[in-house]
Structure 1
């Protein structure tokens, strides 16, 4: 692609974004596009990106971690994190998502002070680059907001550059009644500036002030930031809270067309600069809205499968997979060049908005009550009618799966491994939170110290203690890590587990959740079946139509499943991966 055609593409994006925006002259869109090309270092001719190519396969799995989730004296946390990755998971994962590693003021990194620096308490850019040299590195682009104590905001208050017009403002008299909120605090915050009192927009907290993408200077800043991250080895960009990016009083201010067009523009720039780079949109919203960020294979390469955590946990605590099955049948296969990013635990919690319309309100209430009985906390949002509604459940996944709606039981470990066996087998790229990898419990002391519920699943391990527990065959950490790492090692050898391999839902009753995967070359089939109850369930092999002239084996137990067997007794929370072709 020559620079002129790239410039034309950017001009089309910019015209859609800035059409009708005061102060942005449509005659300057081409000039702005050329400036973006310069900031990305794309003045020379580049190769036209191929839209429908998968830059991932069955070997891909990411660990999600804070930069300081594992600590060791006399070493930067980022160095300790790499030490942990190299020793324990190098042979079963391909990449790592390091949660915001910048200087910040709140929200454990998501209230950024300076996008161009690494938090000194974590390390420096050389530590980031060392990790990026050995693993596919996902980094957060916290694009919707930054810290109210950032230099940009200080400049906003004092009418200086850069920052003069960098933040979204509104009047309390504007029609903001339809604005969708993930929080209960007031949307607008009054601040005193040298120009007088102004009301800045705060979608999340009053320490996180929303950026004003109506100002092209903000876009330029983020393109420069992206270039720096690419130069430091980042290959996967997580666009944090991007759904809220564009503000338009009188609308919901979520998922607006300008927001989608900004994602398209960033993709155009990123894939010309680095053809194998990946954009992931973090949109914790109802399922149909989330899927829209695939666009026409011209927006996100990956979208988070946000509905999976609440639906899967619901299935495992109720022993009924019907809601999970209905959702799965409704999910369109991701076309080549796009993929689902599957996860079942995160640094935040189990989001409930993605379950809206998929679980009945009574089911959500039962889920919330059960998680609270297991020590979980609830974060709230303000609903359309001003009512308080549960937004997410804050709990470690290991504690979330300690029992059922009947209470805790002896099947917690098996239930936890079952959840991951399901997730690892599903269409898409799996991401596993570091505290799920080792089965970390709720951290109540951290909640008390931090003063917010999300801290419950943000424990910090001393590396020596974690090593000791992983070495102790009787510890839950050893058993969890051993089970999960073994599943991952099996997974990465199976072509039918390619993120874009065919997937069909099986109908085996409410107690058995099953689906069929077939490799892209159609050589390998895997029937993935899990008992999601605390009772033995009988699987009739005739229900999954095993072809008689092929040898079938369960990849997990290595036991044969041949045509002479009429049924298999599945233990509570047991998973079978029955295949006709054993790889690895």
Structure 2
């Protein structure tokens, strides 16, 4: 049993509003329930013989964190405990956005709550909004503070007011916790540069290249084009600093318990400001060890579990998302394995799902998608996925090579085909994307571009081709209709709901021009939004189509993540066919055609599964019951069906 389930039992049935004394008693129960696991994890990373005092400091941090947690949030914690795994509900639909590019600042974001409500959004991931360097800052992921709001977005009070407004409207807020590194302007880094030995030990710093060169023998490069290597020389302190991502992002040294304690203090403070979901950025990199890739190490998993179990004691209604864009078996591991099963992160990105969807767009075939998802190791029951079509980042091609080879394709050649297809290297491809971080030595690269441009809408509008425009619209709604029907929380990237295209203006900005991911981070088009109800164009058709799918999702109990999923081989490799909660009357069968031509599926299969009776089927999306007069059901290109079980 995971610790959250134990805490629910300890809390008992939700009743009248608990007194402060009762809340404190429940805190003590949670601390007692987690104490042994926290102690074992802490001393497995930091040996007891040297770090007993640090463990006592940890206990005080937990008590102070609970003391400082507002009463309103303590009551919300208990409500969520009573609701069980609240994040597995099918009612959540998310959106990811940059506040400044979406609407300007936090006050203006609060004014946009009606926009989210109209679309059906009740889960928001705001990209980093805390203080960062004024120059290059990796889109805010080079942090100068974990808790102080950057003035460009407003004040700390603006943020507190925003979280209160979100709670009133039932909107769940997710923020990043850049757990692996700080900026080189962070207070600890400035102290280190000034010669403070205490803070030099907060990072991996070395007086010469001996240790860095040993690390480099097995460390991969994250940004080979713009930040080759994993160490940067700091002339102020005459030392080499580990900088796995960018030269201005210093990796934290978690072998030092003072780093963990300081970061836990930041995590608790962020949670106490009203954040509901904490996105652990780059958590796969947390522990470094010579002779390894320094990714996904056992110590990193223990560290994540330690963070989670401590947070759970103070704020049991707050959960952690794993930002681990790694191999499928490694992704599932961040839910916890063995004694830690269900005790690491509650949510993780289903990056495999996203990448395989784009593979199916390019190849028009779904076998790799079905094979990859069907071979995902099972996740613990109390966990869930974030499913997405696009996000602020690139599209990686981290498929399992054995799955590609099983299809008769050469893995390296296939990845190059995908780069060519999406990045304007094939005249016949409708996609208009760009390459991100191409490595000429390995031939590897990643893909950037907005959903609409990658699916052909930009090119179709340029050509003023109505049929191609309609085809691109259908593909957008098909992909989003698939993730809306999949187990987990669907996440829409802001702008996709109105079919926004690539933004090439980043090429004119010095601090962005070397990062092609900005092509997919446009300024939100509120002029288009204002005309949605009065104009019939691609934006309105996409918006209202997506709005309808979101509302439909929330009406279907079979789409919650407590319900099953099963992938079916329809005999047609162009079709994706999967079933949600098929063992009950709430069953829904999803069919999607990835080909550019009409495709057919046997009606015998639909009948055997219970989704066709006497030649009739009911499509939930258009609300119509239709009759098939032959043994085959035809799906037009990019057709999406949600069939109701009879």
Relative to the length of structure 2, the TM-score reads: 0.81
Q: How many residues align?
A: 567
Q: How much has 1:93 moved relative to structure 2?
A: 2.1
Partner of 1:173: 210
CA distance in 2 between partners of 1:474 and 1:51 (Å): 42
1:138 maps to 2:174 = yes
Q: How much has 1:164 moved relative to structure 2?
A: 4.2
Q: How much has 1:142 moved relative to structure 2?
A: 0.5
1:514 maps to 2:565 = no
CA distance in 2 between partners of 1:415 and 1:368 (Å): 19
Q: How much has 1:291 moved relative to structure 2?
A: 1.6
Partner of residue 341 from structure 1, selected from 386, 398, 402: 386
Counterpart mapping for 1:551-562 below 5 A: 552-561=617-626
Q: How much has 1:266 moved relative to structure 2?
A: 1.1
Q: How much has 1:214 moved relative to structure 2?
A: 1.6
Partner of residue 422 from structure 1, selected from 462, 476, 482: 482
Partner of 2:306: 265
Q: Please tell me whether the aligned partners of residues 52 and 338 of structure 1 are also in contact (alpha carbons under 8 angstroms).
A: no
1:120 maps to 2:151 = yes
Q: How much has 1:123 moved relative to structure 2?
A: 1.8
Partner of residue 189 from structure 2, selected from 153, 156, 161: 153
RMSD: 3.1
CA distance in 1 between partners of 2:557 and 2:30 (Å): 37
CA distance in 2 between partners of 1:270 and 1:494 (Å): 33
3-state DSSP of counterpart to 2:576: strand
Partner of 2:233: 190
CA distance 1:396–1:14, change in 2 (3 Å) = same
Counterpart mapping for 1:267-346 below 5 A: 267-295=308-336, 296-346=341-391
Counterpart mapping for 1:98-117 below 5 A: 98-105=126-133, 106-117=137-148
CA distance in 1 between partners of 2:275 and 2:198 (Å): 25
3-state DSSP of counterpart to 1:239: strand
Counterpart mapping for 1:109-508 below 5 A: 109-129=140-160, 130-131=162-163, 132-133=166-167, 134=169, 135-160=171-196, 163-170=199-206, 171-174=208-211, 175-176=214-215, 177-184=217-224, 185-193=228-236, 196-295=237-336, 296-354=341-399, 357-359=402-404, 360-373=411-424, 374-380=431-437, 387-402=441-456, 409-410=468-469, 411-449=471-509, 450-451=512-513, 452-461=515-524, 463=526, 465-508=527-570
CA distance 1:220–1:12, change in 2 (3 Å) = same
Query: For residues 56-93 of structure 1, what are the alpha-carbon distances to aligned partners after superposition, in whole Å with 9 as ceiling and x for unaligned?
Result: 3111111111111223xxxx522333333422445622
Q: How much has 1:10 moved relative to structure 2?
A: 1.8
The runs of 5 or more residues in structure 1 that have no matched partner are none
Partner of residue 591 from structure 2, selected from 513, 525, 529: 529
CA distance in 1 between partners of 2:266 and 2:30 (Å): 24
Partner of 2:122: 94
Relative to the length of structure 1, the TM-score reads: 0.89
Q: Please tell me whether the aligned partners of residues 103 and 112 of structure 1 are also in contact (alpha carbons under 8 angstroms).
A: yes
Q: How much has 1:576 moved relative to structure 2?
A: 0.6
Partner of 2:15: none
3-state DSSP of counterpart to 1:59: coil
Q: How much has 1:517 moved relative to structure 2?
A: 0.6
Q: Please tell me whether the aligned partners of residues 39 and 224 of structure 1 are also in contact (alpha carbons under 8 angstroms).
A: no
Partner of 1:58: 90
CA distance 1:141–1:178, change in 2 (3 Å) = same
Q: Please tell me whether the aligned partners of residues 353 and 391 of structure 1 are also in contact (alpha carbons under 8 angstroms).
A: no
Q: Please tell me whether the aligned partners of residues 329 and 377 of structure 2 are also in contact (alpha carbons under 8 angstroms).
A: no
3-state DSSP of counterpart to 1:346: coil
Q: Please tell me whether the aligned partners of residues 313 and 401 of structure 1 are also in contact (alpha carbons under 8 angstroms).
A: no
Q: How much has 1:430 moved relative to structure 2?
A: 1.0
Q: Please tell me whether the aligned partners of residues 52 and 297 of structure 1 are also in contact (alpha carbons under 8 angstroms).
A: no
Q: Please tell me whether the aligned partners of residues 54 and 338 of structure 1 are also in contact (alpha carbons under 8 angstroms).
A: no
3-state DSSP of counterpart to 2:622: coil
Q: How much has 1:487 moved relative to structure 2?
A: 0.8
3-state DSSP of counterpart to 1:461: coil
Q: Please tell me whether the aligned partners of residues 112 and 147 of structure 1 are also in contact (alpha carbons under 8 angstroms).
A: yes
CA distance in 2 between partners of 1:358 and 1:276 (Å): 39
Q: Please tell me whether the aligned partners of residues 514 and 530 of structure 1 are also in contact (alpha carbons under 8 angstroms).
A: yes
CA distance in 2 between partners of 1:389 and 1:102 (Å): 36
Counterpart mapping for 1:76-95 below 5 A: 77-90=105-118, 92-95=120-123
Q: Please tell me whether the aligned partners of residues 168 and 201 of structure 1 are also in contact (alpha carbons under 8 angstroms).
A: yes
CA distance 1:6–1:43, change in 2 (3 Å) = farther
Query: For residues 356-384 of structure 1, what are the alpha-carbon distances to aligned partners after superposition, in whole Å with 9 as ceiling and x for unaligned?
Result: 554422221111001111332222266xx
Q: Please tell me whether the aligned partners of residues 116 and 122 of structure 2 are also in contact (alpha carbons under 8 angstroms).
A: no
Q: How much has 1:512 moved relative to structure 2?
A: 1.1
Q: Please tell me whether the aligned partners of residues 378 and 390 of structure 1 are also in contact (alpha carbons under 8 angstroms).
A: no
Partner of residue 35 from structure 1, selected from 56, 60, 68: 60
CA distance in 2 between partners of 1:221 and 1:34 (Å): 13
Q: How much has 1:55 moved relative to structure 2?
A: 3.4
Q: Please tell me whether the aligned partners of residues 242 and 282 of structure 1 are also in contact (alpha carbons under 8 angstroms).
A: yes
Higher helix share: 2
Q: How much has 1:6 moved relative to structure 2?
A: 3.6
Q: How much has 1:43 moved relative to structure 2?
A: 11
Partner of 2:639: 574
Q: Please tell me whether the aligned partners of residues 329 and 376 of structure 2 are also in contact (alpha carbons under 8 angstroms).
A: no
CA distance in 2 between partners of 1:434 and 1:143 (Å): 25
CA distance in 2 between partners of 1:222 and 1:91 (Å): 36
3-state DSSP of counterpart to 2:191: helix
CA distance 1:317–1:261, change in 2 (3 Å) = same
Q: How much has 1:418 moved relative to structure 2?
A: 0.9
3-state DSSP of counterpart to 2:238: strand
3-state DSSP of counterpart to 1:414: helix
CA distance 1:82–1:566, change in 2 (3 Å) = farther
CA distance in 1 between partners of 2:81 and 2:303 (Å): 18
CA distance 1:485–1:431, change in 2 (3 Å) = same
CA distance in 2 between partners of 1:123 and 1:43 (Å): 23
Q: How much has 1:472 moved relative to structure 2?
A: 4.8
3-state DSSP of counterpart to 1:350: coil
CA distance in 1 between partners of 2:61 and 2:221 (Å): 32
Q: Please tell me whether the aligned partners of residues 232 and 243 of structure 2 are also in contact (alpha carbons under 8 angstroms).
A: yes
Q: How much has 1:438 moved relative to structure 2?
A: 2.1
Q: How much has 1:334 moved relative to structure 2?
A: 3.2
CA distance in 2 between partners of 1:496 and 1:182 (Å): 40
